[in-house]
Amino acid sequence: MNSTTSLNRSLILVAFDDTPYQKGFIQISQKYYEEAKRLFPEISQLQLSDISQAIGIWGPSKLGHKKALQLKVKEIFQNPNSLQIKFEKTGEVPLTSQEIKLHARGVMRKSTSWNENGFLPLVCVFTSEQISQILDDRTSRVKELFSENNWAGIYELYQPIKDLPQKPEIWNNAEILSSIGFACGKLSEVGTLPVEISKDKKKKEEYLKQLAKHRQECTLLYKRCVELEPENPRHYSNLGYHYYSYALQLKASRERLEGDINEIISLALKYLDKALSFSSERLNDLYRKGYLLTSVLPDQIQYGGYKDILSQDEARKQGIACLEKLIGCWEDWPENDDRKKRYRKEYIKSLYTLGQAYYELVRNNWDEITILLQLKSTPPASEAYLARDLENAQKAWDYFYKCWQVDRPNPNLRLDESNLAETPSSGEAEGVYRLYWLGKVAFLQYWILSCYGMCNTEKALPFAEKSLKFLQAALNLPWSPKSSNQRKGFVVELLGRVYLALGEPQKAVQMFERSFKNRPIRDAYIQNTYAMGLILTGCHEKAAEILAEAENNRFNLNRKTTVLLRGCNYLSARSFEEAKSPFETILEDKNNPGKQTLAYAWVGLAFAAYHNQEITSAIENLQRALELLPYHSGIRQKMIEWKQQNSKNGSTHKVPPV
């Protein structure tokens, strides 16, 4: 072999002690030489001209701290059974023997048939690209920065990212690219904007532009990893997580982020599915897919124009299947399985998310108009139609209850309804939220058993009492330190609903006024519930004031409900002519308010007509409402009553007060 066909190889020589480096040569023979030839076939033909550089390290772990040596190879002698390499030391390498070994193992794992057992071969042969990877001290630095969550530090080591395709030692190394991609992904996440940025339009635009750049870089690097290792599910999982994380940011952030959330959700699901195609027991991917389908996609289907054949419930059911698969895997593992500890977080979060998903499968979980207009009904002859909702509510309860039980730092703590105050504040889910959701689901069970608020039954009332107990415990439990600045208005609001459903509006009003004595109510849904209590206690002027604030609240997602409540406030105040306007506004809305909203607008007009002695018109309006809500026995019962009164007394009968 002549110099014109030089292999341009680099050697790593491994010694067990200082002797070879003191004498200036290393010799291997028999099994050591055979192992080297098996992993590096070209070694038997190496000539001095083929060697561009050599590195000397120590094999034993106790010598791993010693700096690697830079060597210049002087001569090579070999025969079929042995190899001798003479060299001289020219300096040190800024990496330890241990670091070189770790880097070399990473390269050999991908490029040879090495089984990773025992020491490295005593002579290793690498290409110039491979030795560049091994000697890159940034690899060790990245691990340190990872442990410190110093994503900017990792980014600085390798920028500009756009130039990496021209650096083959990096561009062809999926492990390094994956680490840089993760750092870019973290840097692209939206946090709380510093005040000096949030108040400066130009700085804010530059900041958001930089986030977009990091997202593009993350995508570029992860996709390159897929090109390099198309059979490695980790890279598809990373891409799935990248899009999953961005979908959550788009959903939660009020900043002007680029990107179509529906497209981002689709990409996240695509890559998570690809990762799961390698193994259906990848718990991180199962959780992320399940969460997207149960907690993100349904709102996009309803409000965000998501273009797919899935309905909200179909999406939730697919997500439920993912999360229940995760729980089944985790619970089937033996107690001493390390994966139990590694994926405990995903297990607990899945219990919590499943509870929410089953809760959302029950469409009728509250009905302001049934409460305000007292659309009561006797229990239906058959409760079969309630069975599905009761089943979903029970599953929601079971999952939240299990989450409450297992999400605790002290495994010896046993929680039940007698010691709610011992619920840990901290956990994968806040203690306040766990108690709140148990109270919320107990109220849902009450609501269903009361025929959706139309009649109180002996079966229903214990669930209302249970709901009050858990909600009061949530109100009393302190937040964990990380959430100490949060408020509990949502707990107060739900307690208000329970009191209103039980026919105790005075308690609801007193609680709202006590809880919001020193601060205004900012959330429209809380304003709506407070206004209901005011209407039912005859405080119509105050109710009108609160409802006006809710209608003007730009974050009001239930504006149509607020309009209906305004109409009900007029009805309760016996201002029947004024009551018509809000209901007519809804009926004239061209933006499809929804069947239930339209039905209740007709019900409101029916009550206004009834109290204006327009009985025929009132009954016709109820009929229109029933065409939209044929299941609502309270509306049907009211229509029967009015027809009977009209038939018995004629059109001149005295109308009872609202």
The answer to whether 288 touches 241, Cβ cutoff 8 Å, is yes
- Tell me the average pLDDT across 561-583: 97
pLDDT-based confidence at 254, cuts 50/70/90? low
Distances (CA, A) of 27 to 49, 58, 61, 87, 429: 19, 15, 21, 11, 61
Q: According to the model, what pLDDT value does residue 1 have?
A: 41
The answer to whether 530 touches 512, Cβ cutoff 8 Å, is yes
Distance between alpha carbon 644 and the CA centroid of its chain, in Å? 54
The answer to whether 222 touches 235, Cβ cutoff 8 Å, is yes
Closest CA to 385 of 364, 371, 368, 400: 364
Q: How far apart are CA 116 and CA 506, in angstroms?
A: 74
Closest CA to 383 of 460, 439, 443: 460
The answer to whether 10 touches 43, Cβ cutoff 8 Å, is no
- Tell me the average pLDDT across 81-101: 92
Strands (E), 308-440: none
Angle between helices 344-360 and 312-332 (to 10 degrees): 150
For the cut 80, the answer to whether the pLDDT of residue 552 exceeds it is yes
What is the amino acid identity at position 193?
L
Distance between alpha carbon 62 and the CA centroid of its chain, in Å? 45
* Three state DSSP letters for 119-145: CCCCEEEEEHHHHHHHHCCHHHHHHHH
Token pair listed for 383? 């409760």
Q: How far apart are CA 161 and CA 178, in angstroms?
A: 13
Q: How far apart are CA 265 and CA 282, in angstroms?
A: 19
Q: What are phi and psi of 178, to 5 degrees?
A: -65, -40
Distance between alpha carbon 413 and the CA centroid of its chain, in Å? 28
For the cut 90, the answer to whether the pLDDT of residue 82 exceeds it is yes
Q: How far apart are CA 46 and CA 139, in angstroms?
A: 29
Largest CA distance in the chain: 122
For the cut 60, the answer to whether the pLDDT of residue 3 exceeds it is no
For the cut 60, the answer to whether the pLDDT of residue 161 exceeds it is yes
Q: How far apart are CA 353 and CA 322, in angstroms?
A: 11
Q: How far apart are CA 611 and CA 608, in angstroms?
A: 5
DSSP letter assigned to residue 478: P
Q: How far apart are CA 214 and CA 564, in angstroms?
A: 46
pTM value is 0.83
For the cut 60, the answer to whether the pLDDT of residue 42 exceeds it is yes
Q: According to the model, what pLDDT value does residue 2 have?
A: 43
309: buried, middle or exposed (CB in 10 Å: 19+, 13-18, 0-12)? exposed
Which H helix or E strand runs over 603?
A: helix 595-611
Q: How far apart are CA 445 and CA 439, in angstroms?
A: 10
- Tell me the average pLDDT across 79-93: 93
Q: Of 649 and 232, which is predicted with more confidence?
A: 232
Closest CA to 641 of 374, 369, 367, 368: 374
What letters, b where the CB count within 10 A reaches 16 and e where it falls short, cover 129-148?
bbbbbbbbeebbebeebeee
Q: How far apart are CA 591 and CA 571, in angstroms?
A: 25
Q: According to the model, what pLDDT value does residue 274 have?
A: 97
**Domains defined for the chain, CATH in brackets:** 3-135 (3.10.590), 140-317 (1.25.40.10), 355-576 (1.25.40), 577-658 (1.25.40)
Distance between alpha carbon 174 and the CA centroid of its chain, in Å? 27
Length, in residues, of the chain: 658
- Tell me the average pLDDT across 390-398: 97
Q: How far apart are CA 600 and CA 622, in angstroms?
A: 9
Angle between helices 151-158 and 174-187 (to 10 degrees): 130
CB atoms within 10 A of CB 279: 10
Cis peptide before 630 (omega within 30 of 0): no
For the cut 60, the answer to whether the pLDDT of residue 631 exceeds it is yes
Residue corresponding to tokens 């973290």: 186
DSSP letter assigned to residue 219: H
The answer to whether 443 touches 498, Cβ cutoff 8 Å, is yes
For the chain, report the end-to-end CA distance as a whole number of angstroms.
106
Q: How far apart are CA 364 and CA 87, in angstroms?
A: 82
Distance between alpha carbon 589 and the CA centroid of its chain, in Å? 35
- Tell me the average pLDDT across 416-432: 93
Q: According to the model, what pLDDT value does residue 655 have?
A: 46
**Lowest pLDDT segment from 107-111, 176-180, 311-315:** 107-111
Bridge partners (DSSP) of residue 86 are 25, 75
The answer to whether 69 touches 21, Cβ cutoff 8 Å, is yes
Q: According to the model, what pLDDT value does residue 90 have?
A: 95
Q: Which residues contact 212 (CB under 8 A, 6 or more apart)?
A: 188, 257, 258
- Tell me the average pLDDT across 193-219: 87
For the cut 80, the answer to whether the pLDDT of residue 408 exceeds it is yes
For the cut 90, the answer to whether the pLDDT of residue 8 exceeds it is no
Q: How many helices (H) and strands (E) does the chain have?
A: 30, 6
The answer to whether 173 touches 135, Cβ cutoff 8 Å, is no
pLDDT-based confidence at 324, cuts 50/70/90? very high
Average pLDDT for the chain: 90
Handedness of CA 236, 292, 352, 527 (dihedral sign): positive
Residue corresponding to tokens 């994956």: 178
Token pair listed for 486? 């949060």
Distances (CA, A) of 182 to 178, 225, 403, 499, 545: 6, 12, 30, 49, 51
The answer to whether 425 touches 377, Cβ cutoff 8 Å, is no
Q: According to the model, what pLDDT value does residue 72 have?
A: 95
**Lowest pLDDT segment from 62-71, 99-108, 385-394:** 99-108
Distances (CA, A) of 86 to 8, 72, 121, 131, 296: 18, 9, 17, 20, 65
The answer to whether 14 touches 32, Cβ cutoff 8 Å, is no
